[in-house]
Amino acid sequence: MSVRNIVTLGNETLRKKSKPVVDFDESLGTLLDDMKQTMIEKNGMGISAVQVGVLRRALIAEKEDGDFLEVINPTILETKGKVKKSEGCLSVPGFYTEVERPEYVKIEAYDRHGNKFEYETEGYFARCICHEIDHLNGILFVDLTKAGQEYKKKKGVQ
Ligand code: CO
């Protein structure tokens, strides 16, 4: 396992739409292991493959109990409610803003071996998963609030 470089705001890779994972092979395992180590090293709560420069639909999120959930090719099946809470992102170091997210989310996805599963969660972890899924579509949390828009303008980045 190794720590990879984090792609940060202003790099256009973050704005690209990630492609589905097709091969559930050893290189996917290595990517996920590296993502996990990178996230731990940088004190993140979630990480998507695009943040280490790989445009594939894969993410890892850390549960409140310290367990990790690996999510490949996710589809959101259902959301409920709306909650506004503070968020940050490894790709936007030092900036936090309150973002509105679903209170509950249910997804369908695959694990690293290609097994399909459904997962539902609420609160913090629902927020975390929604934030990471946004990354797979080129969306950053700074796009979603006025303070985030101002931050981008101040930094002169898209
Ligand atoms: Co992020």
Return d(Cα 58, Cα 48) in angstroms, integer. Answer: 6
User: Average pLDDT for residues 100-105, to the nearest whole number?
Assistant: 98
In the chain, what are the domain boundaries?
Answer: 12-155
| pLDDT for position 96 | 97
The average confidence (pLDDT) of the chain is: 97
Indicate whether 158 pLDDT > 90: no
Give the Å distance between the CA of 8 and the centre of ligand 1: 10
Closest-CA residue to 88 (of 80, 78, 98): 98
Q: Of residues 26, 122, 132, 150, which has the active-site annotation?
A: 132
Q: Is 16 helix (H, G, I), strand (E, B) or coil?
A: coil
Return d(Cα 5, Cα 7) in angstroms, integer. Answer: 6
Q: Respond yes or no: is residue 132 known to be catalytic.
A: yes
121-135 per-position pLDDT tens digit: 999 999 999 999 999
> Which superfamily is assigned to 12-155 in CATH?
Peptide deformylase (3.90.45.10)
Ion ligand 1: residue ranges with CB closer than 5 A: 89
> Can you give the pTM of this predicted structure?
0.97
Q: How confident is the model at residue 100 (pLDDT cuts 50, 70, 90)?
A: very high
